[in-house]
Amino acid sequence: MKKYFILSLMVIGQHLTIGQIIQQTRDQVIAMTPLWKGERLADGRPFVPDRLMERLKNISTEESWQILRNEGYNNQFEGHWDIINPGESMVGRALTVQYLPKRTDYDDLVRAKGKTEGRSGNFNSWPIDLLKPGDLYIADSFGKEADGTLIGDNLGNSIYSKSKNGVVFYGSVRDAEGLEKIQGFKAWVKGYDPSYLQEVMLGGINIPVRIGRMTVLPGDALLARKGGVVAIPAHLVETVVINSEFIQLRDQFGHQMLKEGKYTPGQIDSQWTDEIKTAFLKWLDQNPGKLPMSRQELDDFMKKRTW
């Protein structure tokens, strides 16, 4: 009897594994992002509020990177990208996808499972069907360029229509000129190639992925700028934003004081005296239009801030 019970558990376990090979369940996504205490999307990903995502656009790569390192997150940046439609920064909530070099037996299993779930098209379009406004399609396709092109302009248009956003691919794209014509669409990729996607298979959706030097979890906030891409854990987005905004205010005040000759570079670049701190607080009161946050947020932050 015990033998049959164990066999039954093994069968059930195999069924669950097969059932989850394409996309992590909501409970699994929640389990891998336990530090996030706020709202979540239907698939379990953390939903960082729009107000924070909008403010994140104005944060520099260096500021966000340094704050993450101070929090013990040392592997959240990747540089050296080809950028489609460069200019303004791009931010979004990560929908993570892993691609792997093709292995026929596993690829057949994934495709068969996708068919039973009613997924249409080739597997590189399956994540697109899941995109919500503000999402970013984040894909690890192991840096493959030739025969590793995850999208062309047709899928690019579909991505933008669903997410009003772009992509970050540790891999390549085709139809680069067509992608450039999609107004509002942006992409950080590792290359362009005219070839079609070949010898690649889907590894999983909403799983942890490696994007060069950084690890990205579903629901992370991605900040993409000219200098590179930063993946910010959802539970640290507010910390990154408010700290960076405060640094920007300090810098604005310091630059103005130097231009006016009120303090020397040595005074501004070293630990501030009580006199400078008082002058800074007075400057904040006199320039409310410079605050990127509410005054209440700033006051609450400064209660905990050690200058």
| Each residue's pLDDT expressed in tens, for the chain with a length of 307 residues | 444 434 443 433 443 455 467 999 999 999 999 999 999 999 999 999 999 999 999 999 999 999 999 999 999 999 999 999 999 999 999 999 999 999 999 999 999 999 999 999 999 999 999 999 999 999 999 999 999 999 999 999 999 999 999 999 999 999 999 999 999 999 999 999 999 999 999 999 999 999 999 999 999 999 999 999 999 999 999 999 999 999 999 999 999 999 999 999 999 999 999 999 999 999 999 999 888 888 888 888 888 777 6
| Cβ contact 194:56 at 8 Å | no
Nearest CA among 87, 88, 83, 78 for reference residue 58? 88
Sign of CA pseudo-dihedral 242, 245, 249, 251: positive
**Domains annotated on the chain, with CATH:** 32-232 (3.50.30.40), 238-304 (no CATH)
Question: Which residue type, as a one-letter code, is found at position 47?
Answer: F
- For residue 266, what are the contacts with CB-CB under 8 A and spacing of at least 6? none
